């Protein structure tokens, strides 16, 4: 039986995060001591590890919830899990492409700057005038 703190350490999660997962129903309510403290079993550890691992791979909690459902019902086809992962891969690839465009633009912005006065600073210049952009980045938040 593990305390919430031990579980946190083992999985690299903050204690509050575990309680948060419980509050949104991603983690089941664990046993409690007489005093009301949470005690976890191996099952709890496994489930949290699954969740954390999914997060590390960039899945949303919503996607992880779906994946957990699939994992809990091992009779169905694997296609659903596969398509969730496919969607995730596509998103990751999109993000990479966008970030690479930003990278080019930022490099160009910085490269030209020789630390002269702000009056003719490339960085500010580029921000002021979109037409100086090579890329027509239209996504926000990257």
Contacts with DNA, residue ranges (CB under 7 A)? 3-6, 8, 14-17, 19-20, 33-38, 55, 60-62, 140-141
CA–CA separation, 14 vs 53, rounded Å? 14
CB 74 within 8 A of CB 37: no
CA atoms within 13 Å, Cβ hemisphere of 1: 7
- Give the position of tokens 């903050």: 14
Smaller CB distance to DNA: residue 58 or 120?
58
Which of 2, 15, 45, 49 touches a second copy by CB under 8 A?
A: 49
The DSSP secondary-structure symbol of 38 reads E
Q: Give just the sign of the alpha carbon dihedral 92, 9, 68, 27.
A: negative
- Closer residue to DNA (CB): 88 or 104: 88
* Among 6, 23, 37, 99, interactor with a second copy by CB under 8 A: 99
Element (H, E) at 19: helix 15-23
Output phi, psi for 52, to 5 deg: -60, -40
- For residue 12, the partner it binds in a second copy, DNA, none, with Cβ less than 5 to 8 A by kind, is a second copy
Residue 95 touches which of a second copy, DNA, none (CB < 5 to 8 A by kind)? a second copy
Q: Return residues touching a second copy (CB under 8 A).
A: 12, 46, 49-50, 52-58, 67, 70-71, 73-79, 81-82, 84-86, 88-89, 92-93, 95-96, 99-100, 102-103, 105-107, 109-110, 113-124, 126-128, 130, 133, 137-142
């Amino acid at each position: 039986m593990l305390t919430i703190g031990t579980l946190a350490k083992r999985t690299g999660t903050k204690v509050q995060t575990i309680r948060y997962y419980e509050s949104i129903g991603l983690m089941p309510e664990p046993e409690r001591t007489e005093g009301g403290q949470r005690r976890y079993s191996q099952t709890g550890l496994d489930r949290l590890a699954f969740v954390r691992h999914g997060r590390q791979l960039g899945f949303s909690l919503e996607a992880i919830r779906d994946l957990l459902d699939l994992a809990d019902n091992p009779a169905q086809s694997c296609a659903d899990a596969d398509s969730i992962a496919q969607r995730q891969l596509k998103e990751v690839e999109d993000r990479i492409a966008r970030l690479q465009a930003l990278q080019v633009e930022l490099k160009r912005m910085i490269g030209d700057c020789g630390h002269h006065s702000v009056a003719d600073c490339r960085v500010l210049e580029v921000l002021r005038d979109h037409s100086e952009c090579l890329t027509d980045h239209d996504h926000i938040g990257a």
